[in-house]
Amino acid sequence: MFLTALGLFWWAARAYGDLRPSIAFSPGPPCVLVTSGPYKFIRHPFYSAYMMFWLAFAVHSWSVWALVPALTMGVIYYKAAKSEEDSIMSSALRDAYIDYSRSAGMFLPRLV
């Protein structure tokens, strides 16, 4: 799981090319809508990679207490993603994002 999280992270970074993604809770919408690489399947692959890392940590530690940071970080990443999506929905990217969100899941690929 750790290696999968790392691979997803770098795949998402590579999809941006020379651009840099904004950091979590940045104000305003992004300048461009990236829909290639893992973004073709997942709208927030960086957050997915981070959540996978924390889940791997919890599984690897075999401790119920390790689920606390995993769940906490999952809530934080969900709020960051939701904030970004709300920002996009009030921008010029709105229509493109609505179309895009029909084919890509928020944190996991859509199965249908």
Which pLDDT score is estimated for 88? 94
Residue 54 domain flag: yes
Q: What is the pTM of this model?
A: 0.90
Whether residue 26 has pLDDT greater than 80: no
Residue 46 domain flag: yes
Task: Tell me the one-letter amino acid at 101.
Answer: S
CA-CA distances (angstroms) from residue 99 to 19, 54, 74, 92, 95? 23, 30, 25, 13, 6
Residue 111 domain flag: no
Residue 27 domain flag: no
Residue 44 domain flag: yes
Q: Dig out the tokens for 58 from the structure.
A: 């919890």
- Cα separation of 56 and 94, whole Å? 34
Chain-centroid distance of CA 81 in Å reads 7
Residue 21 domain flag: no
Its domain, for residue 88, covers 2-16+35-101
Of the candidates 32, 9, 50, 16, the one whose C-alpha atom is nearest the C-alpha of residue 100 is 32
Residue 94 domain flag: yes
Whether residue 52 has pLDDT greater than 80: yes
Instruction: Please tell me the total count of domains within the chain.
Output: 1
Residue 107 domain flag: no
